[in-house]
Structure 1
Amino acid sequence: MLEEAEEIGRRARRARLRLGMPQADLAAALGKSQGWVSKMERGLIELDRVGLLNQVASELHIHPNDLIGRPYSSSPAENQWQVAAASILRELRRYDLAPVFDGTPRSSVVLWQDMKRLHRLRDAAANVAILRCLPDLFREARALAEVSAGHEREEAFAVYAVCCKFAHTAAHALGHPELVAMACERAAWSAQLSGDPLMPAVADWMRVWDMWATADWSDALALSDKALRSVQSEYDEGDPLALRLWGTLQLRAAVSAARAGNQRETEDRIGHARAASERVDAYVGAPVYDRHSLTFSAGNVEVHSISVALEMGDQTKALAINRRADVAVLERLPNSRRSHHHMDVARAWLWDGNRDKAVAELEKAERIAPQLIRNHPIARATLRKIVYAERTATREKLIRMSDRFHLDG
């Protein structure tokens, strides 16, 4: 892992040379100096912001996963998730063919009950377990759509669409770009057939995430606004699912704006998301089943506030927000979101020069969601920076000691 930064730099250099692009041209496109590009290619600079990583990959016309070598090589046992991913891809490719399913599919009500297990796995960041569940669910939902009509058929397609969302999230976490792209396409297809007025906006929410890979920040904002307009009337009426969707779309927009370097837009979007979270908290009525699997709350707004501050390079603001945050609210977040939060705080402390606190936060993140954090490029970059800094500090300490002992090497 310590050589990973050098390998990322070599991949960037090879991609640049394949394009016949001078270092100076890449530097100009990134808004950096030629010296910065030279150091990055030699592994002396970490790409420790997702926006920066995606921007470099975009200018080199490669996928970010190609730049960082993801999915990372591991043991055969740890690679078994790719078997499940291949099965899901097979189901998604044959989406418009008669499903291969033995017996009679269960009702949509029963399938939605099954989906609750996927929600729990998502909250625990158990992405491999999610992928293993999905092939059978895709087949059964598609079979139900084939043999039913009316509302039941629409609900079958709604289940299929949310299965696509789970596949999309897990594929992003594990690093499988083909599954990411196909899950997003099939989500859009099934959302239109679902009869759920909010589901197409959920598919757009997924597409925004994919636009980040190519650093299309303006398009990501435009798509977020398109999705927001499509659910505005339901949001205004106070529909509890629309409140969650509208808020989480604003958080997507905030991240896009932050990566574009637009601070005012970022703050506006966070403000809109906070207003939505207040409406969610103020809701009075029957318990609402979050069928779209969009975890949205006041805590979610706070951790995104920290994340976008870091995307704009402001660790002082990120740490200040973290100090003010209500710990009890953050503790109610699912493991997947809490681990991301601690990873972000680790980055903030590292940039602030406190390696001990950075290590402590990274350890918290790993304890909460080990699979997610060990496979996350920013967590890996943060750990590498800490290790390199420790090595440098130790080396300098030994040199000073050698001088005191009058050792001449």
Structure 2
Amino acid sequence: MLEEAEEIGRRAKRARLRLGMTQADLAVDLGRTQGWVSKMERGQIELDRVGLLNQLSAALHIHPNDLIGRPYVASAGENQWQTAASSIVRELRRFDLTPVFDGTPRASGALWSEMTRMHRLRDAAANVAILRALPDMLREARALAEVSAGHEREEAFALYGVMCKFAHTAAHALGHPELVAMACERAAWAARLSGDPVLGAVVDWMRAWDMWATADWTDSLALLDKALGDLERDYDRGDQLTVRAWGSLHLRAGVSAARAGDPDKAQDRVAYAKTAADRMDAEAGPQVYDRHSLTFSSGNVAIHAVSVALETGDQRRALELNARTDPHVVTVLPNSRQGHHHLDLARAWLWDGNRAKALTELETAERLAPQLIRNHPIARSTLRSLVYAERTITRERLRHMSDRFHLDE
């Protein structure tokens, strides 16, 4: 792992040379200096922001996974998730063929109940378990759509679309771009057949995430605004599922704006999301079932505010926002969201010069969501920075001790 930064730099250099691009040309594309590019290619600079990683990949016309070598090399047992991912890809490829399913599919109500298990796995960031469960579930939902009519058929397609969203999230976390793209396409197909007034906007939320891989921040914002426009009428009348989607879309737009270098717009989007969360909190009676698995809440808004500040390079603001956040709204979030948040705090403390707190936050993130954090490129970059800094300090301490011991005399 300590050699990853150097290998990333070598991959970037090979991609640049294949394009016949000079370091100066790449520097102009990135808004950096030629010296920065040179250091990056020698592995002396960590790509410690997703936005920066995506921007570099887009300039080199390669996928970010190709740059960072993801999926990462692991043991044979740890690589078994790729078998499950391939099974899902095969199932999604045959979406318009007669489904292969033995027996009679269960009714949509029973399948929605089964989906609560997927929510729990997603909340725990158990992405491998999600991928292993999905092939059979996709087949059953597709079989239900084949044998039913009317509302039941629409619900079968809604189930299929939300299953694609679970596949999409897990594939992003583990680094499987083919499954990411195909899951998004099939979710859009299912949404059109579902009769679900919110699912199409959820798919746009997914598509905007995919646009980040190519640093298309402007297109991402335009798509999210289109989705918000589609939901506006139902949002105004207070439909709970629409309010969740509305807030989630604004949070995604906030991150897009931050990565586009517009902190004011990013903060405005977080403020819009907070309005939606406040509206949810003020709702009397029980909350509706979160069938789209967006888990939007006040806590989610709070941790996105921290993330947005960090994406704009303002770690002091990120730490101040975290200090003002009620810890309870964070601890009730799913482990997957908490893991992301503590990873953000690890970066913030690292950039602020407090390596001890950075390591503590990174350890917390790993404890909460081990699969997510160990496979996250920014977590690996943060850990490398901590290790390199410690090695440098140790070398310096040994040099001073050697001087005191007069070992060179």
- TM-score exceeds 0.5: yes
- Does 139-148 or 285-294 show the bigger shift? 285-294
* Counterpart in the other structure of 2:143: 143
How far the C-alpha of 1:199 sits from its partner, in A, is: 0.7
Match of 1:110 in 2: 110
8 Å Cα contact 2:267-2:308 kept in structure 1: no
CA distance in 2, matches of 1:291, 1:207: 19
Specify the SS of the correspondent of 1:295. Answer: coil
Is 1:270 the equivalent of 2:270? yes
Deviation at 1:408, TM superposition (A): 2.0
Deviation, 1:287, is 3.4
Is the counterpart of residue 382 in structure 1 residue 382 in structure 2? yes
1:408 matched to which residue of 2?
408
In structure 2, the partner of 1:161 is: 161
Write out aligned runs for 1:69-88 (5 A).
69-88=69-88
Partner of 1:93: 93
- Residue 47 of structure 1 corresponds to 47
Show the counterpart of 1:8: 8
Partner Cα separation in structure 1 for residue 102 and residue 401 of structure 2: 74
1:208 corresponds to which residue? 208
How far has the Cα of 1:286 moved from its partner? Answer: 3.6
Instruction: Tell me the distance in 2 between the aligned counterparts of 1:80 and 1:70.
Output: 15
- Corresponding position of 2:348: 348
Q: SS at 1:231's partner residue?
A: helix
The one-letter code sitting in structure 2 at the alignment partner of 1:140 is E
Question: Aligned partners of 1:392, 1:162: CA distance in 2, in Å?
Answer: 48
**Aligned-partner residue type, residue 102 of structure 1:** D
Q: 2:161 and 2:136 mapped to 1: Cα distance?
A: 14
1:218-257 equivalent positions in 2, closer than 5 A: 218-257=218-257
Alignment correspondent of 1:130? 130
Task: Give the corresponding residue for 2:305.
Answer: 305
CA distance in structure 2 between the partners assigned to 1:348 and 1:257 by the alignment? 19
Amino acid at match of 2:180: V
Q: Unaligned regions of 5+ residues in structure 2, if any?
A: none
The correspondence of residues 53-68 of structure 1 with structure 2, limited to 5 A, is 53-68=53-68
Task: Look up the match of 1:23.
Answer: 23
Tell me by how many angstroms 1:201 deviates. Answer: 0.4
What's the CA shift string for 1:117-141, capped at 9, x where partnerless?
0000000000000001100010010
Give the residue type in structure 2 aligned to 1:266: A
How far does residue 398 in structure 1 lie from its aligned partner after superposition?
1.4
What CA distance in whole angstroms lies between the structure 2 residues aligned with 1:18 and 1:71? 23
Show CA shifts across 1:224-255 (max 9, x none): 00000001111111111111100000000000
Matches within 5 A, 1:311-322: 311-322=311-322
Name the counterpart of 2:179. Answer: 179
For residues 167 and 296 of structure 1, the distance between their equivalents in structure 2, rounded to whole angstroms, comes to: 19
1:405, distance to aligned residue in structure 2 (A)? 2.4
Q: Deviations over 1:354-409 (max 9, x none)?
A: 11000000000011011110010000000000000000111111112222223328
Deviation at 1:114, TM superposition (A): 0.5
Provide the residue aligned with 1:393 in structure 2. Answer: 393
Deviation at 1:83, TM superposition (A): 0.8
Equivalents in 2 of 1:287, 1:373: separation in Å? 30
Aligned residue type for 2:333: L
2-side partners of 1:324 and 1:406: how far apart? Answer: 51
- Alpha-carbon deviation of 1:285? 2.8
Aligned mates of 2:289, 2:384 — CA distance in 1: 41
Tell whether the 8 Å contact from 2:27 to 2:33 is kept in structure 1 after alignment.
yes
Do the aligned partners of 2:247 and 2:276 also contact (CA within 8 Å) in 1? yes
Read off the aligned partner of 2:24 and give its amino acid letter. A
Report the AA paired with residue 240 of structure 1. Q
Deviations 1:248-279 (A, max 9, x none): 00000000000000011001101001111100
Gaps of 5+ in 1: none
CA distance in 2, matches of 1:104, 1:341: 43
Instruction: Tell me the SS of whatever aligns to 1:101.
Output: coil
Query: 2-side partners of 1:391 and 1:287: how far apart?
Result: 51
Output one character per residue of 1:66-100: Cα deviation in whole Å (capped at 9) or x when no partner: 00000001011101111110110011000000101
Whether the aligned pair in 1 keeps the contact of 2:248 and 2:296 (CA below 8 Å) is yes
**Is 1:329–2:325 an aligned residue pair?**
no
SS at match of 2:55: helix
Question: Does the Cα contact within 8 Å between 2:165 and 2:183 map onto a contact in 1?
Answer: yes
Greater shift in the superposed pair: 146-155 or 398-407: 398-407
* 1:229 match: secondary structure: helix
SS in 2 for 1:213: helix
CA distance, structure 2, for counterparts of residue 48 and residue 277 of structure 1: 30
Which stretch shows the higher mean deviation, 181-190 or 397-406? Answer: 397-406
Q: How many residues align?
A: 409
1:117-171 Cα deviation digits (max 9, x unpaired): 0000000000000001100010010001011100000000000000000000000
Counterparts of 1:328 and 1:250, CA distance in 2: 23
Q: Which segment is superposed worse, 181-190 or 394-403? A: 394-403
Q: How far, CA to CA, are the matches of 1:26 and 1:200 in structure 2?
A: 37
Taking structure 1 as the reference length, what is the TM-score of the superposition?
Answer: 0.99
